[in-house]
Structure 1
């Protein structure tokens, strides 16, 4: 039986590009959250923190905390679309903490922001699947080379996760093709 390696190569440059990509994906759905909770800046703060890291900033406790704060904002949002928009922002900040582990779970860290943004936009459009497909297509076309390179070192996205998990698997397969 062949076993997968425990670790993958992951450069700082790749990590920064992945975080920037995740921030760009999450930003697409940010207005959905802000329309529902205009005074809550936690998702925007998480996206901004991911952008700062992508631009050369340090991985700090504040960056990690901004991701958790966006996650808490998702738990407090009343609209399902706003929930997924905040989760996209949380994933953007969390992308800076991708582990160099050869685990399918890491695929969620790379593509989670895009998948949650697609779900937020789909929900905001009354479950219009074409909207999600357009968002995922945008995410595929805007993925930097680092995203594809790191995905190629990981096992395919894992099963489960409902509609967001389906989006992660679809985007993963499209980026690997």
Structure 2
């Protein structure tokens, strides 16, 4: 529990649940990146590290380093779809670092991997928004009640962020609709 009203209590198990959700989203599109860069393991390593944390591992420098490495892989990829797939992997490893701050921007830590997954899939399909929507529906089904409960502790997703921001807001709304009424 935190002492500041602007902070949200997050347990280690909460972080593991969020990270497992993010890793499950990101691994869906790893092949998009690996199809372009078959010898670059940085996104796969980030997803693997996220799974390791989600299953009881430590949240330390190695996990954070894999997130940064996946971001570097995204920046070096030529195709936009591959960049988004690597960003999904970066988001998966970064989900373990969700901050207990009552800020809308923290929702990106929870839902970023799912949004980047959907965007990568859209781009592979020639920017087909229906494909992205289908990926968001699958992400909703991946989310456990614990992920939804953690999400609802935070304000709704912020505006901006282009298409990925729009996908985050769509996923946010869909998941919040699953929360039990008070």
Using the size of structure 2 for normalisation, the TM-score is 0.94
The question of 1:69 aligning with 2:69 is answered yes
CA positional deviation for 1:164: 0.3
CA positional deviation for 1:18: 0.6
Q: Look up the match of 1:130.
A: 130
5+ long unaligned stretches in structure 2: 178-182
Q: Look up the match of 1:167.
A: 167
CA positional deviation for 1:5: 3.1
The question of 1:115 aligning with 2:130 is answered no
The question of 1:153 aligning with 2:160 is answered no
CA distance in structure 2 between the aligned counterparts of 1:146 and 1:68, rounded to whole angstroms: 27
5+ long unaligned stretches in structure 1: none
CA distance in structure 2 between the aligned counterparts of 1:147 and 1:168, rounded to whole angstroms: 15
How do 1:36-51 and structure 2 match up within 5 A? Answer: 36-51=36-51
Runs ≥4 in structure 1, deviation > 6 angstroms?
A: none
Q: Deviations over 1:96-128 (max 9, x none)?
A: 111111110110000000000100000001111
| CA-atom RMSD in angstroms | 1.0
Q: Deviations over 1:13-69 (max 9, x none)?
A: 111011011000000111000000000000000000000000000011010000000
**How many pairs are equivalent?**
174
CA distance in structure 2 between the aligned counterparts of 1:24 and 1:175, rounded to whole angstroms: 16
CA distance in structure 2 between the aligned counterparts of 1:148 and 1:20, rounded to whole angstroms: 13
Q: Deviations over 1:153-177 (max 9, x none)?
A: 1110000000000000000011111
Return 154-163 or 7-16, whichever deviates more: 7-16
CA positional deviation for 1:146: 1.8
Q: Look up the match of 2:60.
A: 60
CA distance in structure 1 between the aligned counterparts of 2:146 and 2:93, rounded to whole angstroms: 17
